Amino acid sequence: MILVLILLLSLLLLDLQIHSRLLYLLHLIFHYLKYNQVLLQIPQHFLLLKPYTQFLP
């Protein structure tokens, strides 16, 4: 996992044009993992919040 991050970071430095896209992708991946971890810890809270999530963009 750390090696993959280092590889991606090196790619970011190589091409500035794709810099924002890869950074955004990493951002989404980390938030997705963090979100899943929270859901695993508190699934009952997620079920309580689920009816309200349909109104979010």
CA distances from 34 to 10, 11, 18, 26, 42 (A): 23, 24, 24, 12, 12
- What local confidence, expressed as pLDDT, does residue 37 receive? 72
More confident residue, 8 or 53: 8
pLDDT in tens, 9-47: 777 666 656 667 777 887 888 888 777 776 666 555 556
- What local confidence, expressed as pLDDT, does residue 26 receive? 79
CA distances from 48 to 4, 10, 41, 56 (A): 36, 42, 14, 15
Per-residue pLDDT at 4 exceeds 60: yes
Q: What pTM did the predictor assign?
A: 0.35
